[in-house]
Structure 1
Amino acid sequence: MQRIRVPVLARSGLRAAGALLTPLAACSGGTAPPPADGGVTDDCPAVVSVTPEGRRVTVGEPVEVTAERGSLTSVTATDAEGGRLDGRFSADRTSWISNRKTVPGAAYRGTAATRSKGGTIGTRRASFTTADADKVDKVDWRPRTHWKPGTGVTLKAELNGTDSGHAHAAP
């Protein structure tokens, strides 16, 4: 019977597997030993979340983009007609929120460019659609007493995200 010695091979195989899995553990939230040279261990892509997401999502909410393990370098969000949703970044650039809310029955697409803490550049694309408006309510409001002709009236209402009917282009 012939004997084969494998302890050395098994140990070196384990070391190689450990070397390969250590970066994966660091990227998946596990713990990995710091590098011997004291460098950065977190060179995993940033994790991006976009809210809302999916189909027929609730309308009337802003679009929010967040990054973990890195920062957002740019965010672009557009509707199906190419209208851009402008927004603003947080001071640390880990979040972005649109300046206006989503509207009923619309499709949106977005692209977020990121840079991880270790410098890795990444891109995340997302899309979602909003639900159609359930119903349109008509609101009539009249004062208790009639105003004199020419009286100035100011009406403030949060209507962004409210279905106001179909848009018609002017001739």
Structure 2
Amino acid sequence: MTRTRPRSPFRTAALAGTAVLAAAALTACSGGSGDAKGGGKDTAPETRISVNLSGSRAKAGGPVTVTLAEGRLQRVTVTDSKGATLGGTVSADGRTWTSARVAAPGTGYTVEARSADGGTARADFATAAPDRVNKLTLAPGRNSTVGIAHPLSIVFDHPVRNRAEVEKHLKVTTSNGTVGSWGWMEDWSGKDRVDWRPKEYWKPGTKVTLKAELNGVDSGRGGGWFVRDYSTDMTIGRNQVVAVDLDSHRLKLLRDGREVRDIPMSGGTPGGDKASWSGRTVLMSKEGTINMRSETVGLGDAYDKMVDYSMRLTWSGMYAHAAPWNARHMGNANRSSGCIGMDTPDARWVYEQVRVGDPFEVTGGDAKGTQAPNNGYGEWNLSWADWQAKSALR
């Protein structure tokens, strides 16, 4: 007859920085012959596991490893104080389990292990709290439907020195295997920023998911730790491009490559700061009626107006909008303070048709230069090779 010895409590002790579990409970024993050593009692040798992290201020940022002294591990579960678990794998020899994710700072963990012969053990540890926490802002927001030029964009609260390590934890998946790359830059706000754009404009209907699995990642000197994961997703809308020709003073809406409407407009006054930017820009937001003041964009006291149907194209203040006060120049000359102005009915129509993420492709000799990558979503003005070179993993 086979009998199993009742499992006894195990002790947790510190040994050279390693949590060691004295785990008689990890041995499944059989006995019962009256002549077994110890007067018929089980005498199986003690089996132990060790965890590489221990105590209440363990170092964060590395994987958790659990090692069995003898036998084979069947299962290891590492659960944090919020109930989330760290996935992991057992080595080929069955002796060691290693977590796929790292231990996050300021977090308590419980380790539960089971050996192949049915024994179990448990250990607890906590990581030291972070000195500084880094956070981020994602664009677009969850469940967004956007135009064919909208990138995934992340702006960080604090500097990111370990850019390659952070980039490794940014996972982009698409419904059709779209090729794309991350590119780092300084945002217009002065903060660190990284965007993911495709090689070409998105295909309509593409579903895109970003998982920023950053919990436990150190952003580097002066930046602090990330203490949570982030995610967002978007669907790409219809194939729509707004073509702005500063030379002919016309704006055309193209859908699936076909012209839907041709509208007279007036761009920025050439020859100075009031000229428009050229290049492939992206509609950042539809802001409706807003107060535009020239001093906010470095143009003194040139204007202070309430402006209807405002569509932001750059952080530096270039919009497409209604400009009825400039009607005599529409279709004839560029005489605005940098924006793309239209008559009110035309601006209303464009506003109703366009979607955030639609590209505005601005051409013509009256421009003051090409929009910079960080001035809104200007990364489309870089070649694919130049954009790839901005990845920290290249």
Q: TM-score range by the shorter chain?
A: 0.5 to 0.7
Pair member with larger Rg: 2
CA RMSD after TM alignment:
3.6
Alpha carbons of structure 1 residues 107 and 151: separation in structure 2 relative to 1, 3 Å: closer
Structure 2 length-normalised TM: 0.27
For 2:70, the equivalent position in structure 1 comes to 69
TM-score (norm 1): 0.57
Cα deviation digits, residues 126-150 of structure 1 (max 9, x gap): 011111111247217539xxxxxx9
Alignment of 1:11-160 (within 5 A): 19-20=37-38, 43-115=44-116, 121-136=118-133, 138-139=158-159, 141-142=185-186, 152=197, 159-160=214-215
Q: Which has the higher strand share?
A: 2
Alpha carbons 1:45, 1:122 under 8 Å: kept: no
Q: Deviations over 1:112-167 (max 9, x none)?
A: 1124xxx5x42110011111111247217539xxxxxx9939xxx99441333678
Structure 1 residues 91 and 133 mapped into 2: Cα distance closer, same or farther (>3 Å)? same
Return the letter of the residue paired with 1:54.
Answer: G
The higher-RCO structure (CA 8 Å, 6+ apart) is 1
Which of the numbers 156, 161, 167 marks the counterpart of 2:216?
161
The question of whether the paired residues in 1 share the 8 Å contact of 2:215 and 2:226 is answered with no
2:109 corresponds to which letter in structure 1?
Answer: Y
Hey, what's the Cα distance between the residues in 2 that align with 1:123 and 1:151?
Answer: 45
Please list the CA deviations of residues 66-110 of structure 1 after superposition, one character each: whole Å capped at 9, or x if unmatched.
Answer: 001211111111111110110000011100000000111111001
Which residue identity does 1:164 align to in structure 2?
A: F
Q: Per the alignment, do residues 106 and 124 of structure 1 end up closer, same or farther by CA in structure 2, a change over 3 Å counting?
A: same
What 5-or-longer segments of structure 1 have no aligned partner?
1-18, 28-42, 144-149
Tell me if structure 2 keeps the 8 A contact 1:60–1:102. Answer: yes
Count of aligned positions: 119
Percent sequence identity over matched residues?
Answer: 36
Aligned to 1:37: none
CA contact (8 A) 2:215 2:228 kept: no
Q: Are the aligned partners of 1:45 and 1:70 in contact in 2 as well (CA < 8 Å)?
A: no
Paired residues of 2:216 and 2:227 also in contact (CA < 8 A): no
